[in-house]
């Protein structure tokens, strides 16, 4: 190999970016070893045919020129030869033995040539080499002078490939070596997956198999020749198991591995297989007789980015004053669970550090945490304030994140997320922040948690110190709020060794700011702080369900806005869920996970989202499961078991759902199959069956008849929709409109993320249904299908973006269905855009298929100023949550096979139940709207409040009921369920369904029955303390009326009169029997 050298004077040195340096092929400073122009030439140039004059030539004598040229070539050849003769013995003596065993000969020769060239040029030992392997992989070799601590970390930071690149190649192998005379470091980084060849692993791994057989036979002594303990027999070392494992490994990994090391890493592999965990082991090592302070650290990391794992591990070792002398990184397939990265490092303590048991225990704990730490935490504990330690740093960044949505309401600029963290970590204030964190750790220390009295006393001490020592009002406010967070935390997983993220079960009052208007306080809030994400779970009842949505802003500016509003969005969605959950046993909840994957490739974005889902849900399980682990490591100030259920929302995929359910089972959740709804096989897919849209259309039908006096079965009407044909609610609503009304339904406008299509005469149904069936967005609408005045606008032009963003306001229609779009799209600042110049609305009727599309203020103003009748989201799209509740019941009452075998019939019965629940509420809403007046959204909330208030009263009352009395009310729950589920398993309901869930089901069923039958005025006028007793008497009265009706049907009297009496008994018999009017 010939290296092209810049002209250098003797004794000068050159580094990668210096003017006098090695010239290299690429701007990234890598010499391409496979490029023919860089290969070694066996002969020198001996002839010069150019007539161009050269200053060193004797211009009159060609023979002299040739002699001179030959002499120079000879001298240079001798010089290179002498250099190589000096380098080779030194290289062979100074490089560690594993280098020669593990690095291919061709690579070693390239390294010697490169080092010879460097030494010959009197340069520093500073070079990067790049090799392309035949299978597409790339090998980067970094050669650096010395072996000082931190050198490896600096090299890793120089590596060119990361998950933000579209050409991202995974780091698949790392080999780190230090010269024994400390003169240089030579490290190899391999990118790209090694090609799989059909090799016989019994041959490539013969030494491993032979060693394992000796282990299993017990023929090995307790220790090997170096004093290291030999492994003990283990089922994993059985020949068949080993072969199966080796078939997952790359051939190079098998060939390079010492048998003892291989078996050790298998054990680590097995500990994390099928999970996202990390396993660490440390072992004393004798490197040579002059130094006994060397240790091997082995780490197995499931489902991580190898580059990140290497960088974070190296950072942590550097922080703890350990120098990495040698390292290996390999990736092994873990089947459907992804890959497991195996990292092995030979380290030595420096700067006075000690490799004692306490140090390694702390190191192991922090290594496990590194995978899940956010960048802000890493910077804080590795760079800004290393003395804090990982645990304290993580709590500080978590508290900063919690404070952002609270404090930004006071001053969005002073209390931006960045400013909050910067303020509390300033040198002047960090000691106070650390003291508050210590208080938090004391409060939740499982070995001796602080009592309420002790917490209050210590809090007062800290507040006094802050008041005396902190003059800056912003800093004082933030530090005081941190103390409030400590006092309002009821559970945390901070002391759990294998946690994925940091979770805090908060008293929800902490999330309120002093200057905001009074509103309903949630039952509970969980905050989760993890790597690249923060998440809130908010719920309004003890047993609650609601979707989990992933929010991934496209820019830092958008991320900052979403961060400030994250809790408010979560609260609003959970509250809307609480209103719409009135017909089911579960209260309302919502989870919003804000993820930072800005600027990443699509692969990187997806990786981060999937990891965020895992970390968020596993942390929630930390805080709600009752296991030996949580009883030992989680201090509880809630005082009762908590039950919650999740569902999929924006950007959650089937892979996430399957993982969450599997993990819930592993973690000991009581009903793991019910923990998350919409399971691919044993669930009711909302989009496939159109469950939400079925309910939306019932409300649309009733509203058209009552408000616009249109019979949609007989008359034409127009409609506009946000949400694409490929979306859940919008796509299914299009199918239902076509099914129920045919050409009577004229869709005059549709907008989604890709654009919008408009046609005043109605978009062609055949084309709309093609898009729905092919799962295509609206920008794929065929323009040739448009009528006169029709248009398709796409967002690849500024005009198209404006048209898309304004379609819901501009296009005239009888009804508007928001079936997609971001919350608060129509708000108090822009609601007038929905009105025409004359003040009339562009649509007099809105049926909200999407959550929170219109704000409360905008709803009221549209009604007051333009008479717009709006069916609120908590009513219109409630059928989705009812379906999810039925799925939870099915998961508890039926096995997966039982559900799957009867799925068609169960789904059919569920759809009938949905239509019934939607019809009951729709008729009540418009009956009371026409009778009492007021705006429909307010009436919708009145209905939800009435049902929920009755449910709460009944739930409290049922706690004092005997089992026998509760049993009398069980038919209410049975009637609520699909008949097939009842027939198959209701006789086992007490065995399979938690008692609290049954009580909630009875309460909600009775409450909704009472409100839908008798109206909100009847329920709301009852004193709260009597509501439960009246409701229970109502059940008895209904039973008596049923007996009376049965007797009446057997009497002889004219059918017309009999039918009238039966209707009167049905309509008001129970209420009359109560004597309550």
Cα 488 to Cα 243, 482, 914: the distances in Å are 54, 10, 40
Which of 951, 753, 718 is CA-nearest to residue 842? 718
Q: Which residues contact 366 (CB under 8 A, 6 or more apart)?
A: 316, 389, 390
Q: Are strands 138-145 and 127-132 parallel, antiparallel or unpaired?
A: antiparallel
The structure tokens 């968020």 sit at: 616
Taking each helix axis as running N to C, give the angle between helix 206-217 and helix 259-272, from 0 to 180 degrees, rounded to the nearest 10.
Answer: 80
Which of 335, 307, 329, 337 is CA-nearest to residue 252? 329
Asked if 322 contacts 356 with a C-beta cutoff of 8 angstroms, the reply is: no
Which of 444, 190, 461 is CA-nearest to residue 328? 190
Give bridge partners of residue 676 from the DSSP assignment: 646
* Rounded-to-5 percentages of helix, strand, coil across the chain: 50, 15, 35
How many Å apart are CA 771 and CA 779, to the nearest integer? Answer: 10
How many Å apart are CA 462 and CA 482, to the nearest integer? Answer: 11
Asked if 996 contacts 644 with a C-beta cutoff of 8 angstroms, the reply is: no
Give bridge partners of residue 719 from the DSSP assignment: 747, 815
How many Å apart are CA 494 and CA 459, to the nearest integer? Answer: 20
Tokens at residue 270, please? 């097995």
> b/e map of 532-548 (b: 16 or more CB within 10 Å)?
bbbbbbbbbbbbbbbbb
How many Å apart are CA 453 and CA 181, to the nearest integer? Answer: 61
Tokens at residue 519, please? 């509103």
How many Å apart are CA 997 and CA 1000, to the nearest integer? Answer: 5
Query: Measured over all CA atoms, what is the biggest interatomic distance in the chain, rounded to whole angstroms?
Result: 142
DSSP 615-652: HHHHHHHHHH---HHHHHH----S-S--EEEEEE-TT-
Q: Are strands 791-794 and 755-758 parallel, antiparallel or unpaired?
A: antiparallel
Classify 1035 as helix, strand or coil. Answer: helix
Asked if 645 contacts 888 with a C-beta cutoff of 8 angstroms, the reply is: yes
| Residues catalogued as catalytic | 590
- HEC per residue, 942-1002: HHHHHHHHHHHHHHHHHCCCCHHHHHHHHHHHHHHCCHHHHHHHHHHHHHHCCHHHHHHHH
Asked if 587 contacts 541 with a C-beta cutoff of 8 angstroms, the reply is: yes
Cα 9 to Cα 5, 22, 55, 614: the distances in Å are 12, 13, 20, 59
Q: Are strands 489-492 and 502-506 parallel, antiparallel or unpaired?
A: antiparallel
Q: Which residues contact 333 (CB under 8 A, 6 or more apart)?
A: 248, 339, 340
The structure tokens 């509880």 sit at: 636
How many Å apart are CA 941 and CA 580, to the nearest integer? Answer: 9
How many Å apart are CA 720 and CA 843, to the nearest integer? Answer: 9
Supply φ then ψ for residue 545, to 5 degrees.
-140, 155
Tokens at residue 963, please? 């089992």
Q: How many CA atoms lie within 13 A of 460 on its CB side?
A: 5
What's the first-to-final CA gap in the chain, in angstroms?
101
């Amino acid at each position: 190999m010939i290296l092209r050298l810049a002209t250098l004077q003797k004794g000068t040195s050159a580094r990668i970016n210096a003017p006098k340096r090695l010239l290299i092929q690429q701007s990234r400073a890598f010499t391409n070893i496979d490029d023919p122009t860089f290969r070694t030439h066996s002969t020198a140039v001996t002839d010069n045919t150019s007539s161009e004059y050269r200053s060193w030539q004797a211009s009159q004598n060609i023979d002299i020129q040739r002699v001179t040229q030959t002499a120079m070539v000879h001298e240079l050849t001798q010089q290179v030869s002498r250099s190589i003769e000096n380098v080779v013995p030194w290289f062979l003596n100074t490089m560690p033995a594993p280098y020669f065993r593990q690095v291919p000969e061709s690579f070693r020769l390239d390294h010697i040539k490169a080092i010879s060239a460097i030494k010959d040029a009197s340069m520093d030992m500073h070079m990067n080499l790049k090799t392309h392997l035949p299978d597409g992989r790339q090998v980067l070799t970094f050669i650096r002078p010395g072996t000082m601590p931190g050198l490896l970390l600096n090299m890793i930071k120089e590596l060119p490939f990361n998950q933000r690149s579209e050409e991202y190649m995974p780091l698949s192998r790392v080999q780190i070596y230090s010269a024994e005379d400390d003169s240089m470091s030579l490290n190899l980084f391999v990118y790209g997956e090694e090609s799989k060849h059909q090799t016989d692993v019994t041959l490539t791994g013969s030494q491993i198999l032979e060693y394992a057989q000796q282990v299993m036979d017990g023929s090995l002594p307790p220790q090997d020749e170096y004093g290291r303990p030999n492994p003990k027999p283990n089922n994993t070392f059985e020949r068949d198991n080993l072969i199966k494992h080796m078939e997952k490994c790359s051939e190079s990994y098998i060939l390079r591995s010492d048998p003892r090391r291989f078996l050790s890493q298998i054990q680590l592999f097995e500990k994390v297989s099928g999970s996202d965990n990390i396993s660490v082991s440390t072992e004393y090592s004798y490197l040579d007789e002059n130094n006994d302070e060397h240790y091997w650290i082995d780490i197995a990391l499931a489902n991580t980015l190898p580059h990140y794992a290497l960088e974070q591990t190296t950072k942590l070792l550097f922080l703890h004053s350990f120098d990495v002398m040698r390292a290996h990184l390999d990736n092994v397939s873990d089947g459907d669970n992804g890959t497991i990265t195996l990292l092995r490092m030979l380290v030595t303590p420096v700067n006075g550090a000690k490799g004692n048991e306490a140090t390694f225990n702390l190191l192991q704990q922090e290594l496990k945490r590194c995978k899940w730490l956010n960048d802000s935490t890493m910077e804080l504990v590795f760079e800004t304030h290393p003395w804090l330690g990982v645990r304290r740093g993580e709590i500080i960044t978590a508290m900063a994140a919690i404070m952002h949505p609270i404090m930004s309401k006071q001053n969005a600029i002073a209390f931006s997320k960045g400013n909050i963290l910067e303020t509390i970590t300033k040198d002047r204030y960090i000691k106070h922040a650390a003291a508050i964190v210590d208080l938090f750790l004391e409060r939740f220390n499982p070995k001796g948690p602080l009592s309420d009295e002790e917490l209050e006393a210590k809090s007062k001490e800290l507040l006094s110190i802050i008041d005396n020592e902190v003059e800056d009002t912003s800093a004082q406010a933030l530090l005081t709020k941190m103390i409030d967070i400590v006092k309002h935390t009821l559970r945390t997983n901070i002391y759990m060794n294998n946690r994925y993220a940091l979770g805090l079960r908060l008293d929800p009052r902490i999330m309120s700011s002093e200057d905001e208007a009074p509103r309903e306080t949630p039952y509970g809030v969980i905050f989760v702080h993890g790597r690249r994400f923060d998440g809130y779970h908010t719920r309004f009842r003890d047993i609650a369900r609601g979707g989990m949505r992933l929010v991934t802003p496209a820019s830092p500016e958008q991320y900052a806005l979403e961060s400030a509003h994250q809790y408010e969005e979560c609260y609003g969605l959970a509250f809307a869920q609480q209103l719409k959950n009135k017909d089911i046993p579960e209260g309302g909840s919502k989870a919003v996970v804000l993820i930072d994957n800005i600027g990443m490739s699509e692969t990187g974005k997806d990786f981060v989202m999937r990891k965020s889902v895992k970390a968020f849900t596993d942390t929630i399980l930390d805080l709600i499961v009752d296991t030996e682990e949580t009883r030992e490591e989680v201090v509880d100030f809630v005082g009762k078991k908590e039950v919650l259920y999740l569902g999929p929302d924006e950007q959650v995929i089937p892979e996430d759902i399957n993982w969450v359910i599997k993990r819930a089972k592993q973690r000991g959740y009581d009903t793991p199959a019910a923990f998350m709804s919409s399971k691919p096989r044993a669930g009711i897919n909302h989009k496939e069956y159109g469950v939400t849209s079925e309910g939306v259309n019932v409300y649309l039908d009733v509203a058209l008849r009552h408000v616009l006096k249109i019979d949609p079965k007989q008359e034409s009407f127009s409609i506009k929709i946000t949400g694409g044909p490929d979306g859940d609610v919008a796509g299914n609503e299009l199918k239902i409109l076509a099914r129920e009304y045919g050409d009577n339904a004229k869709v005059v406008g549709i907008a989604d993320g890709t654009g919008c299509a408009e046609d005043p005469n109605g978009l062609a149904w055949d084309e709309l249904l093609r898009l729905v069936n092919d799962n295509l967005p609206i920008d794929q609408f065929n323009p040739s299908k448009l009528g006169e005045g029709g248009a398709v606008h796409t967002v690849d032009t500024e005009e198209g973006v404006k048209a898309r963003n304004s379609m819901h306001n501009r296009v005239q229609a009888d009804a508007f269905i928001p079936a997609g779009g971001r919350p608060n799209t129509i708000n108090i600042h822009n609601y007038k855009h929905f009105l025409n110049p004359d003040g009339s609305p562009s649509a007099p009727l809105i049926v909200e298929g999407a959550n929170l599309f219109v704000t409360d203020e905008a709803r009221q103003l549209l009604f007051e100023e333009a008479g717009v009748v709006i069916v609120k989201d908590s009513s219109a799209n409630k059928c989705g949550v009812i379906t999810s509740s039925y799925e939870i019941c099915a998961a508890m009452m039926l096995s997966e096979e039982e559900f799957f075998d009867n799925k068609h019939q169960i789904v059919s019965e569920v759809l009938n139940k949905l239509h019934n629940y939607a019809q009951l509420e729709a008729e009540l809403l418009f009956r009371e709207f026409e009778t009492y007046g007021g705006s429909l959204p307010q009436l919708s909330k009145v209905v939800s409040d009435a049902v929920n208030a009755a449910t709460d009263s009944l739930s409290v009352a049922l706690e004092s009921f005997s089992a026998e009395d509760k049993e009398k009310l069980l038919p209410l729950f049975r009637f609520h369920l699909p008949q097939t589920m009842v027939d198959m398993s209701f006789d086992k309901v007490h065995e399979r369904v938690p008692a609290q869930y049954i009580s909630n089901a009875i309460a909600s069923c009775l409450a909704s029955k009472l409100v839908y039958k008798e109206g909100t005025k009847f329920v709301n006028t009852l004193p709260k303390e009597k509501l439960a007793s009246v409701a229970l008497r109502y059940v008895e009265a209904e039973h008596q009326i049923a007996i009376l009706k049965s007797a009446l049907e057997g009497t002889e009297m004219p059918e017309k009169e009999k039918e009238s009496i039966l209707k009167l008994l049905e309509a008001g018999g129970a209420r009359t029997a109560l004597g309550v009017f």
